[in-house]
Amino acid sequence: MAHAYTPGLRVTDSALIRRERRLPLKGTVLVARGEAVEADTVVARTELPGNVHTVNIASRLSVDPAQVPGTLRRPVGSKVEKGEVIASAKSLFGLVTNTAQTPVEGTIESVSHVTGQLILREPPMPVEVGAYVRGVVAEVLPEEGVVVETQAAFVQGIFGVGGETFGEVAIAAESPDQPLLPELLSPTHRGKVVVGGAYTSHAALQRARELGVAAVVVGGFDDQDLRQLLGRDLGVAITGSEELGFTLVLTEGFGHICMADRTWRLLGAHRGELASVSGATQIRAGVMRPEILIPRGVPARAAAEESHATGLEVGSLLRVIREPHFGRIGHVAELPPELRPLESEAKVRVLVVEFADDHTRAVVPRANVELIAE
Amino acid sequence: MIAPPESIRSILATDCGSTTTKAILIEKGPEGYRLVVRGEAPTTVEAPFEDVTRGVLNAVREVEELAGRKILEGERIVSPQSGDQGVDLYVSTSSAGGGLQMMVSGLVLQMTGESAQRAALGAGAIVMDVIALNDGRRPHEKIRRLRQLRPDMILLSGGTDGGDVKRVAEMAEILVAADPKARLGSDYRLPVIYAGNRDAAPLVRECLDSRTALTVVPNLRPSLEREELKPARDAIHELFMEHVMAHAPGYKKLMTWSPVPIMPTPGAVGIIIEKVARRDGIAVVGVDIGGATTDVFSVFQGVFNRTVSANLGMSYSVSNVMAEAGIENILRWVPFPVDEVELRNRVKNKMIRPTTIPQTLEDLVIEQAIAREALRLAFQQHRSLAVGLRGVQSERTISDIMTQTETGQSLVSLMDLGLLVGSGGVLSHAPRRVQAALMMIDAFLPEGLTHLAVDSIFMAPQLGVLSTVHEEAATQVFERDCLVRLGAVLAPVGPGKPGQPCLEVRLEAQGLPPLERSVRFGELVVLPLPEEGGAKLRATPDRGLDLGPGKGRALTAEVRGGVVGLIVDCRGRRPFALPTVSATRIDRLREWNRALGVYPRDV
């Protein structure tokens, strides 16, 4: 295969980032091209059609469905209040009047002479889209939204839960290998993007929630704790809509894993600055990884677009992403072209990695490494 | 235009998968049609390319390089073949961009709802939801669901011909109220197929004609006793081409390259499985375990069924296998103690980095344990959908009453199963073929005598679509290059105690000395078979055990050869149970692995 390795996650001090902010349905764009926006600026607004309710008029009035249109007190298209009588018919030789009332406030959308059903639509629900990140409106998508552009420090995580949020960067651990324990969190972290080190626990996240922390960024986390956090086993990695009260971003993976030094240093360098964070992760077609964006002022138009890693070369910085060397960082020392047998007896393309910490070497499948993009 | 089959010298076939586009080159030689080479390239349906033909051209270029001959001229497939350049036929299947995603509806969930589901699945779709009047949801909940999901197509069924039309109209009204939007592109109308009570067709037209791209086909359940899925399936294939494919990036161009309609990948696999079952007159089960989904195909009593377990797979969905199976069910296949926290983290790390592969033997064993559970669950789902028609009025005899038979029983009978074919990375690329055989045996628990095979490089989709225009070429390549025959498994049904006599086996194969072997209850052994040809088998079970002909009665059969041999599985069926005490279970698993040479060392 042409690309057997996992493209690296990006960790860079400066990148030109564009984020599309689109409404779920057509609506109104509230900002113009070139306008400066803050993370909380509302850039577009629309109304989602309300929920639909059915009312079986024929059975409520004990009439034939064909007679139902004649029983309506208000024409199709009328607005009605909750509990309002919308249809009535007399029965028992005209002695008894049966009525049908509306279960909710809404508009009469249609009525059927075949089934005797009336369809009632609730009032529309307003939906707004925010800018998410401080920057400039680079493009207006008429009636749909905008593209916000920003020059920012950019860290891609490997997995996250929780939606978009923003806050000042606060460093809570002392080193990238120190776990983020509950006692390291304090009321000063309220509304902040708190960066820990190697690991955090469910107890620390509970504390973060109590304190009103906006986001927690750490190297690793146990799946057992994730299960407790979500209240269920996460089956498929499609996240971002959880309502946890904060957003969690893992930069390395599941387990106790030190945050990569480069990520740690980069986040540390932006302590006190405003960061936009998204936990949304999707690992199928159209891969989406969680991210931390720290805007750095006006976008430099000449700056390169978001670039992607080109390929593995001798000297490339990488991280091993599967046992037995999971989480270790090193440089490519050799790229043997032939297939080599692994301990599992599978014959695959491999590389020789020299680890950064102790300079020992190991053979690993190319599929089991991830480039650390610079 | 397609050339007459006999004049076709070379065929190029591609399958545009969600991550990889695979191309195969088939050529006619002195011994018939054979696979020449296979190439692959990443699929390019999504940004930044957004043109499926890029990936196809890249995969074909790899084929050109490997075969050492030209197929393309610029960005065009040369056809017909001229000299050494080009091919006489090009065909393709596709599951890129999420495949074909459908919603189906019926009046009664277990009757027309189930028939509609079978029609959609059989055509190769992923069924996102089944809406029925009795599905337990209130109308507004149905409407919300219809609106939330953005299917490629909706199949609306309901009622038998001549039955009540009101309920069908009610379902159509729900659809109108929901006003669902198509997944690809907001500016085209959602295709809806109506295959319900023919008397309600005018009402359905009145409701839906102006709002959707409506196609009316004959009822898929004209009476309770009859299911006619073909018109609905054909309409699905046609609309898949006309609407869905035509709106997917680059497909318009791709469609002009092939004289044969592009088919959804699983639909094409179904075709080849059905053909094999019909040709050999046997019951066949095929399973394709992918990263995200597992498809199961079966033909029992001549009836084809397909199910797709959308969230059972070995990478993207691996964590869901753990969630659905339960961690203890995965661990029961692992012959060493594993820490639960550690296993959970490993599984999640595979989910978030889906392209990684096991490096250590321990990791391989864990991955294969998960595969057993994914296959088991997918097969369980298949059995519950591959059933006879429910709601059929049948004359019951006294014996039926005594045995409590009912309508809607599963068609899947493991004792009748003749061939079990596995495909997908974890089976096709298992370092030892016996590992694939044992994974399938443990997951499906076949009974009596069942042949086993794996699809070497997953060519079944391309061969399925090819078989619609050139059956001879498709069958020849399927037998010679696609299927790797593993051998067979012989498993008596019935209870027993470990160490008790279970089975006497006699095997006679040409070129091998006759072999006689007594196998005890609880044992798993493998007997050699020639790789080509076959052997005569006579197996006599102990009293109370059944191999198919009846309790204690001998089975005589011809066994086809294979690279693994004849696996005699006396671990018990109905019930099959692993020891509950952990240490005993681990000892037993190690014993079985050693007996079959599953791994290079004790793990």
Identify which of A172, A204, A330, A350 has the alpha carbon closest to the alpha carbon of residue A260: A330
Please state, in angstroms and rounded to a whole number, the distance separating the CA atoms of residues B464 and B50: 26
Judged by CB atoms closer than 8 Å, whether chains meet at A285 and B361 is answered as no
Distance from CA of A187 to the nearest CA of B (A): 31
B357 touches chain A (CB under 8 A): yes
Domain boundaries, chain B: 5-96, 99-253, 283-308+408-596
Q: Which two tokens stand for residue B178?
A: 């929901």
d(CA B404, CA B219): 31
Residue B295 touches chain A, beta carbons under 8 Å: no
The DSSP symbol for B335 reads: S
What pLDDT shows up at residue B449?
Answer: 96
H or E element at residue B138: none
Please tell me the distance from the alpha carbon of residue B158 to that of residue A115, in angstroms, as a whole number: 15
For residue A223, the distance in angstroms to the closest alpha carbon of chain B comes to 5
CB contact under 8 A, A346 and B364: yes
From A114, A235, A322, residue closest to B323, measured CB to CB: A235
Inter-chain contact B432–A3, Cβ cutoff 8 Å? Answer: no
pLDDT at B97 over 70: no
Q: Do B345 and A323 touch (CB under 8 A)?
A: no
Search chain A and give the residue with CA nearest B346.
A254
- Residue B143: which H helix or E strand, with range? helix B139-148
Backbone dihedral angles phi then psi of residue A275, each to the nearest 5 degrees: -120, 145
Q: Do B357 and A368 touch (CB under 8 A)?
A: yes
Going by CATH, does the domain composed of B99-253 fall within 3.40.50.2300?
Answer: yes
Helix and strand numbers (H, E) in chain B are 19, 24
Domain B5-96 CATH (choose: 2.170.150.20, 3.30.70.890, 3.20.20.300, 3.30.420.40): 3.30.420.40
Q: Does B319 touch chain A (CB under 8 A)?
A: yes
- HSE (CB half, 13 Å, CA atoms) of B312? 25
The token pair that represents B521 in the structure block? 């209850």
Residues of B numbered 1-20 whose beta carbons fall under 8 angstroms of chain A's beta carbons: which are they? 18-20
DSSP codes of every residue in B158-212: -S-TTS-SHHHHHHHHHHHHH----SS-SSSPPEEEE-S-GGGHHHHHHHHTTTS
| Mutation target vs A (from B339, B348, B361; most A CBs, 10 A cutoff) | B348
Beta bridge partners, B526, equal B567
Tell me how far apart the terminal alpha carbons of chain B are, to the nearest angstrom: 57
Does B218 touch chain A if contact means CB atoms closer than 8 Å? no
Specify the higher pLDDT residue, A90 or B157.
B157
**What string of pLDDT tens digits covers the 374 residues of chain A?**
333 344 567 888 999 999 999 887 778 999 999 999 999 999 999 887 777 788 889 988 889 988 988 899 999 889 999 999 999 988 777 778 889 999 889 999 888 888 888 888 888 888 899 999 999 999 999 988 999 999 999 999 999 999 999 999 999 999 999 999 999 999 999 999 999 999 999 999 999 999 999 999 999 999 999 999 999 888 878 888 888 999 999 999 999 988 988 899 999 999 999 999 999 988 765 578 899 999 986 544 444 444 444 567 899 888 898 989 988 889 999 998 888 999 999 988 899 999 988 999 999 998 899 887 65
What CATH number was assigned to the domain covering residues A52-121?
2.40.50
Q: What is the structure's pLDDT at A237?
A: 80
Given the DSSP bridges, would you call strands A106-111 and A79-80 parallel, antiparallel or unpaired? antiparallel
Q: Please name the residues between 418 and 447 in chain B that touch chain A, using a CB distance below 8 Å.
A: 429, 431-432
Asked if A276 and A39 count as a contact pair (C-beta separation under 8 A), the reply is yes
Which CATH number among 3.90.700.10, 2.60.120.260, 2.30.30.140, 1.10.10.10 corresponds to the domain A317-373?
2.30.30.140
A53, A109, A117 ranked by CB distance to B170: nearest: A117
The answer to whether B177 contacts A54, with C-beta atoms less than 8 Å apart, is yes
Query: Do the Cβ atoms of A344 and B341 come within 8 Å?
Result: no
Residue pointed to by tokens 């035509």:
B246
Separation between Cα atoms, residue B526 and residue B542, nearest integer Å:
19
Cα dihedral B386→B388→B392→B398 (10° resolution) = -140
A115·B169 Cβ contact <8 A: yes
CB atoms B173 and A112 under 8 Å: yes
Shortest distance, CA A121 to any CA of chain B (angstroms): 9
Partner-chain residue, chosen from B345, B352, B600, that has the shortest CB–CB distance to A158: B352
Identify from B61, B174, B356 which residue to disrupt to test chain A contact, counting A C-beta atoms within 10 A and taking the largest count: B356
Tell me if residue B119 falls in helix, strand or coil: helix
pLDDT at B397: 45
Q: What is the largest CA-CA distance in chain A?
A: 98
Which sign, positive or negative, has the C-alpha torsion B330, B334, B338, B344? negative
Secondary structure of residue B151 in the 3-state scheme: coil
Nearest residue, CB atoms, A343 vs list B139, B319, B360? B360
Burial category of B582 from C-beta neighbours within 10 Å (exposed 0-12, middle 13-18, buried 19 and up): exposed
| Closest by Cβ to B352, choosing from A52, A159, A232 | A159
Cα torsion A161, A166, A172, A175: sign: positive
Question: In angstroms, rounded to a whole number, what is the distance separating the alpha carbons of residues A40 and A191?
Answer: 14
3-state helix, strand, coil in chain B (%, to 5): 35, 25, 35
Contact B344 A115 (CB under 8 A): no
Q: What are the tens digits of pLDDT across the range B494-518?
A: 988 889 999 999 999 887 889 999 9
Nearest to B311 among A2, A158, A236 (CB): A236
Contact B360 A324 (CB under 8 A): yes
Predicted local confidence at residue B434, as pLDDT: 97
% of chain A at pLDDT higher than 90: 56
Model-level ipTM above the cut of 0.90? no
Q: What is the pLDDT of residues B480-491, one digit of tens each?
A: 899 999 999 999
Contact status of B210 with chain A (Cβ, < 8 Å):
no
Locate tokens 């969930």: which residue?
B109
Q: Who contacts A88 (Cβ-Cβ below 8 Å, separation ≥6)?
A: A61, A71, A73, A97, A98, A99, A100
Instruction: Say which of A109, A285, A343 has its CB closest to residue B359.
Output: A343
Structural domain A158-289, CATH architecture? 3-Layer(bba) Sandwich (3.50)
In chain A, list all ranges with CATH 2.40.50: 52-121
B174 to chain A, any CB pair closer than 8 A? The answer is: yes
Residue B184's pLDDT is: 63
Contacts A346 to B, Cβ<8 Å: 357-358, 364, 429, 431
